[in-house]
């Protein structure tokens, strides 16, 4: 029996042992669906042509059950289509037991186990629901939106400890997580292949995540520091074994006012590779700042500027171009995003945004340096 089957059996047994009678069980079902129209000019983002496309959708169905006053079970099934970044396959997004060991006005302490969401930045653990994220697409500079590794970042099979402490300035929360080793899916292997290299086998090992968040009462400010690390053990055609270790740090800041929100995040990704040509250590980084204004009639508008660099020591790509012959713009992306939403109800809404981009780092294919992307989404939740 493989490790995933073991997890399913473990959660099933725990549910039977700890759950109250069916009559007392508080079971809630909810879901959401999003249809997006996308058009690009000058680039084949997400692996699509620049012809307007409706092949971008996402939907989820999730359930929560209050098994005991301190024990919660939650799970979600998710499906998405997004060009080469997502292939429309149905998967178990998360399935967990959340045991709140201690809860007082002064603080909380608890434990989650199963397929748990990874706390990273301000939006990773809510990136599945458009109603909770800042726009149709998350900032590529921090959340690697177009690289096709959403599943790796969003959740992992393991255990998390969490706790919070109330203090004079606000509330500080800490989450720590560790995951079991697992085999990566074929979609992730495909996105890592390229440049003449084909990844046949890929295991995600030594996965760890940590986050420290503080919600300050005066001013209304949220600050955060996140860390995620994982190893990739690969078998590459013609080369044999190759190892990669990735460490990501993110610094987060969000300032809330009555009718506006300012958000900024900065991340640094350090990658160490052994066993393939070009082995060594590299460091990339990215930053964004976003201003969102809430207007009457259930309208909101936002402006965001992202900066994303493949090599923080070669921000204009000149050294990379001289060494490889590839265009400089493959090493950076500067993205101005203008967008907004209309949400007349908590159950449905419309979103639109335009991206004006200089550079192709993070895009699926290197085409024109200057390109645009237009997106319109309609979403419901029930």
Find out whether 355 and 335 touch, Cβ atoms under 8 Å: yes
Mean pLDDT on 191-211:
80
Helices (H) and strands (E) in the chain, counts: 5, 17
Residue with tokens 């699509």: 48
Mean pLDDT on 28-52:
77
Q: What share of the chain has pLDDT > 70, as a percent?
A: 84
* Alpha carbons 187 and 150: distance in angstroms, whole number: 10
Cis peptide before 219 (omega within 30 of 0): yes
pLDDT digits (tens, 9 = 90+) for 128-171: 899 998 899 999 889 987 665 777 888 999 999 999 999 999 99
Categorize the per-residue pLDDT at 365 as very low, low, confident or very high, splitting at 50, 70 and 90.
Answer: low
Q: Is the pLDDT of residue 26 over 90?
A: no
Mean pLDDT on 299-317:
95
* Alpha carbons 61 and 89: distance in angstroms, whole number: 14
Categorize the per-residue pLDDT at 50 as very low, low, confident or very high, splitting at 50, 70 and 90.
Answer: low
Please report the pLDDT score of residue 12 as a whole number: 46
pLDDT digits (tens, 9 = 90+) for 209-238: 999 999 998 889 999 999 999 998 888 776
Task: List Cβ neighbours of 224 (8 Å cut-off, separation of 6 or more).
Answer: 121, 122, 211, 212, 213, 214, 250, 251, 252, 253
Please report the pLDDT score of residue 61 as a whole number: 95
* Alpha carbons 243 and 263: distance in angstroms, whole number: 35
Is the pTM higher than 0.95? no
* Alpha carbons 203 and 189: distance in angstroms, whole number: 10
Q: Is the pLDDT of residue 24 over 70?
A: no
Structural tokens at position 378 = 């309609």
């Amino acid at each position: 029996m493989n490790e995933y089957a073991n997890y399913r059996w473990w959660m099933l047994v725990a549910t039977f042992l700890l759950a109250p009678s069916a009559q007392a069980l508080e079971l809630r079902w909810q879901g959401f669906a999003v249809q997006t129209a996308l058009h690009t000019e000058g680039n084949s983002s997400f692996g699509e042509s620049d012809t307007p496309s409706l092949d971008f959708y996402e939907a989820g169905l999730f359930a929560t059950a209050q098994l005991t006053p301190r024990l919660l079970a939650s799970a979600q099934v998710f499906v998405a289509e997004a060009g080469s970044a997502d292939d429309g396959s149905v998967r178990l997004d998360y399935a967990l037991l959340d045991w709140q060991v201690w809860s007082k006005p002064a603080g909380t302490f608890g434990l989650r186990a199963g397929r748990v969401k990874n706390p990273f930045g301000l939006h990773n653990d809510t990136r599945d629901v458009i109603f909770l994220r800042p726009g149709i697409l998350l900032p590529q500079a921090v959340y690697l939106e177009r690289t096709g590794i959403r599943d790796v970042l969003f959740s992992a099979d393991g255990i998390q400890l969490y706790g919070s402490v109330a203090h004079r300035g606000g509330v500080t929360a800490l989450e720590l997580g560790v995951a079991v080793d697992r085999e990566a899916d074929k979609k992730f292997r495909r996105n890592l292949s390229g440049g003449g290299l084909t990844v046949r086998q890929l295991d995600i090992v030594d996965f760890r995540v940590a986050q420290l968040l503080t919600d300050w009462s005066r001013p209304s400010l949220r600050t955060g520091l996140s860390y995620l690390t994982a190893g990739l053990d690969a078998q590459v055609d013609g080369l044999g074994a190759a190892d990669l270790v990735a460490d990501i740090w993110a610094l987060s800041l969000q300032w809330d006012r009555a009718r506006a929100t300012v958000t900024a995040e900065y991340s640094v990704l350090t990658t160490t590779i052994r066993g393939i040509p070009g082995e060594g250590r590299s460091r990339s980084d990215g930053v964004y700042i976003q201003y969102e204004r809430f207007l009457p009639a259930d309208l909101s508008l936002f402006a965001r500027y992202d900066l994303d660099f493949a090599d923080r020591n070669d921000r204009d790509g000149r050294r990379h171009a001289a060494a490889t012959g590839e265009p400089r713009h493959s090493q950076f992306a500067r993205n101005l995003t203008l967008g907004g939403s209309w949400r007349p109800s908590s159950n449905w809404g419309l979103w639109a945004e335009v991206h004006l981009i200089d550079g192709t780092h993070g895009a699926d294919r290197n085409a024109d340096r200057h390109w645009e992307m237009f997106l319109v989404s309609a979403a419901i939740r029930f």
